[in-house]
Amino acid sequence: MFANITDYFLPAAFAGSLDLRRRVRIIINTVLLTSLFSLNFLVLCWWADLKPGMYVLLFGIISFGLLLFGYRAGMYSHIALGYWFLFVGYLTVVVNSAYQGGYYAATTWWLGLCGVTGSFLLGRRAGLIYFGLGLVTALTFWLLEQRHYVFPNLVPVDKAQFWHIDILAGLMLILLVVALVFDNINTNTLRVISVQNALLSERTAQLEQSLADLQAAQAQLVQQEKMAFLGELTAGIAHELQNPLTFMKNFAEVSTGLVDDMGGTRPGGGTRAAGLEGDILAGLKQNLREISQHGQRATAIITGMLEHARAGTGLRILTPLNGLVEESLRLAYQGLRAKDRDFSAHLTTALDPALPLVAVVPQDLGRVLINLLTNAFYAVRQRQQAGEVSYRPEVRVHTSAGQGGVEIRIADNGTGMSAAVQAKIFQPFFTTKPLGEGTGLGLSLAHDIIAQGHGGTLYVESQEGQGTTFRVGLPLNGPV
């Protein structure tokens, strides 16, 4: 019943948390219990014929009621309710004490209870404020007593004993009710918390099950993606190997026919024309050259796949990158010059002398740099052979140290790449070179070596018709 009365004074739009609701109910309960005690004291004043005290207590009871109804109407917060309640209680105690003997009155000690109640209801600040007010008031009564100020003491002598007994009995009754009310509040709170904990446990179990299902679905998606990639890779290998093997098969069949011609057997019969052996031998030589070329292409594809499989398995050692870059630039330039003696390009290097040593696999990183530089030389050579007026092939290599890593930048002013080509440039078997000049595995392997083997990054920036820049980022403390 008392809990229902308490909840009646909660605002209709109250939307606080469970803990806030508990604190507000405690404030309302304290106001109601103080009103009950004041009512008991009012009856006592009436019995003792203490009209001033009775009027003051009546004022306090009415004020407490108005405060509760004002809070229910939403006129102020529960903090304001607590402060106003303590202030009205303080005034009630002060006025009653002044009429009942001042410092020696039976109600003066309630001034200390204002500070305790303020700390309990509103916190340390309210407790200190009302403790200070109570202390100042008690000291004022004491000083007035020392100056022989006579406080009125209207309690009849024959009723003084019952007066103190009633105050003590009323206080004990209030404490008992307070204990019962707080126990009821705590019990209800614990019951609500228990229900919420059960609901939380149920939802936690549901979330754990959802997480397990999500992880299983994710693992299945990863497996499906791996299988899809493996299927694409297998199809790419089969397609790339099929071309050179088909050429080898066709040229071998043609060569067999040429050998039959040399033996004098022809499908239509007849004799062999004069000088036919020389033509047949020249055709055989050309066929064998084609067979060798496509066999080398098949070997290059298989070699590239093997390099993919063992990329990043070498020993990482601290390496001076500037020396490795210079050596790779020299090998790539000499390799293209060996195929085309007429080719030349302007080489520009800007190598940071303060570049720190970086833990890398020198053979793998050297393979990446040679591949990127070879592509750069190929691009400027293609643009040069297009016959562009006043074109000067140029390849620029730049190294620099940054926060937590180093960067190697390889730029050319060659043919460049479109956005569509850039999106596929690191895919296995994708190449823009003519058949027989590239397997499409070089940049894919380079990306795997940098990203997976060294924990770095490999980016491409290109503009069609103007040139391409590859940026290799290597961490100083990459994976070992």
- SS3 track for the chain: CHHHHHHHCCCCCCCCCHHHHHHHHHHHHHHHHHHHHHHHHHHHHHHCCCHHHHHHHHHHHHHHHHHHHHHHCCCCCHHHHHHHHHHHHHHHHHHHHHHECHHHCCCCCHHHHHHHHHHHHHCHHHHHHHHHHHHHHHHHHHHHHHCCCCCCECCCHHHHHHHHHHHHHHHHHHHHHHHHHHHHHHHHHHHHHHHHHHHHHHHHHHHHHHHHHHHHHHHHHHHHHHHHHHHHHHHHHHHHHHHHHHHHHHHHHHHHHHHHHHCCCCCCCCCCCCCHHHHHHHHHHHHHHHHHHHHHHHHHHHHHHHHHHHCCCCCCEEECHHHHHHHHHHHHHHHHHHHCCCCCCEEEEECCCCCCCEEECHHHHHHHHHHHHHHHHHHHHHHHHCCCCCCCCEEEEEEEEECCEEEEEEEECCCCCCHHHHHHCCCCCCCCCCCCCCCCCHHHHHHHHHHHHCCCEEEEEEECCCEEEEEEEEECCCCC
Residue 424, token pair as written in the block: 């596929």
Residue with tokens 């066929």: 287
Distance (Å, rounded) from C-alpha 222 to C-alpha 255? 49
Residue 439 has pLDDT above 60, yes or no: no
Q: In what order do the strands lie in the sheet with 467-475?
A: 346-350, 394-402, 405-412, 467-475, 457-463
Q: What is the b/e burial string over 248-272, where b = at least 16 CB atoms within 10 angstroms of the residue's CB?
A: beebeeebeebeebeeeeeeeeeee
Distance (Å, rounded) from C-alpha 74 to C-alpha 332? 83
Residue 475 has pLDDT above 80, yes or no: yes
Give the H or E element holding residue 88: helix 78-99
* Domains of the chain from N-terminus onward: 2-155 (no CATH), 315-475 (3.30.565.10)
Give residue 61's identity as a one-letter amino acid code: I
Residue 409, token pair as written in the block: 């930048």
pLDDT at residue number 469: 95
The stretch 276-290 carries a mean pLDDT of 71
Distance (Å, rounded) from C-alpha 418 to C-alpha 462? 7
The stretch 122-127 carries a mean pLDDT of 88
Distance (Å, rounded) from C-alpha 406 to C-alpha 399? 7
pLDDT at residue number 348: 93
Give residue 358's identity as a one-letter amino acid code: V
- 351 vs 279: which has the higher pLDDT: 351
Residue 480 has pLDDT above 50, yes or no: no
Residue 470 has pLDDT above 90, yes or no: yes
| 324 within 8 A of 366, measured Cβ to Cβ | yes
Q: How confident is the model at residue 159 (pLDDT cuts 50, 70, 90)?
A: low
Give the H or E element holding residue 95: helix 78-99
pLDDT at residue number 407: 94
pLDDT at residue number 272: 53
pLDDT in tens, 254-271: 676 666 666 555 555 555
167-to-43, 85, 106 alpha-carbon distances in Å: 11, 21, 8
The stretch 27-49 carries a mean pLDDT of 82
Give the H or E element holding residue 399: strand 394-402
pLDDT at residue number 228: 59
Look at 46-50, 69-73, 414-418 and tell me which has the smallest mean pLDDT.
46-50
CA angle (34, 39, 41) in 5-degree steps = 95
Mean of per-residue pLDDT scores for the chain: 78
